[in-house]
Amino acid sequence: MPRLNQKRRVLITGCSSGFGLLTAVKAAQAGYDVVATMRNLDKAGYLTKALDQGGTTATIEKMDITNPDSIREIVEKHAPIDVLINNAGILIMGSFLDLTEAEVRRVLETNYFGAVELTRAVAPSMIERQSGIIINIASLAGCVGHPFNSAYAASKHALIGFSQSIRVELMPFNVKVVSMEPGYHKTEIIRANANLSENFYNRKSPFFEWNRGFLRLMMDRVIPKAGEPEAVADKIVKIMELDKPQLHYVLGRDARWATRFEWLGLGQWLACKVFEKLEIARHRENRRAEYKKKRRKQTPTTRTQES
């Protein structure tokens, strides 16, 4: 049973930026007892400032979701947990051939195995109390794939499958499981926190030009049109209040259109359209690179005469 006369406690991962940070602030403002976790407490200043500006407070803890001991320590310290939000994730861009095995494992360990391990640690007390909600922040990439982000897409696809599976298993215990699948939003995972694969600029790779083209496409077309992350955080907090939440939520205009195309059997058409835009971006980036190369070869005298 839910605890009486006490604030419901929510544990959120990945709170140094993006959805995690915003959700921590909005949940605290809504009256939840928020435990906001992150791997690196050196980045806690952003959350602290946002909490101060929002006129609210939260408990900030260091937790590495790839470390079972770290998970166990935080869960035992803050039990019982009423709401678990598995939000922490990383993205490493590059073709599937250019990603190293270590990079692929790093993405899967954080985005999938870490979420599974934390859920396994939190779920028993929810089962015992016959109450709780688990919200897994997946991605549109887990529904329709994502070129040059295969490890990320695979990890989110796995997280969606995990959510769908345990949702049924936990039904007898009144524990709800929700999968959230947002499209592109202006969070740090596609900006400052985005990582390029070790071999992203390897000229010997058959994907060298395509890697660069993809990055140019992201910078020119995708990121400027990305949604505002506050909308996702607002939705998460609303879901936490529902007695009967939906099984999953697709968030963002791009995500709704992409999933609609897939449902209509237009996945191949969508893939071709993405490829067309990628090819244009590749040619544009090649021209840009050639221009820079020509400029570097010019002598200072030549440059002065041109100006």
Q: Which of 152, 184, 249, 291 is an active site residue?
A: 152
201 is catalytic: no
Structure tokens at 86: 């598995």
Map 190-227 to HEC letters. Answer: HCCCCEECCCCCCCCCCCHHHHHHHHHHHHHHHHHHCE
Closest among 64, 53, 55, 75 to 9, alpha carbons compared: 75
Q: Residues with catalytic annotation?
A: 152
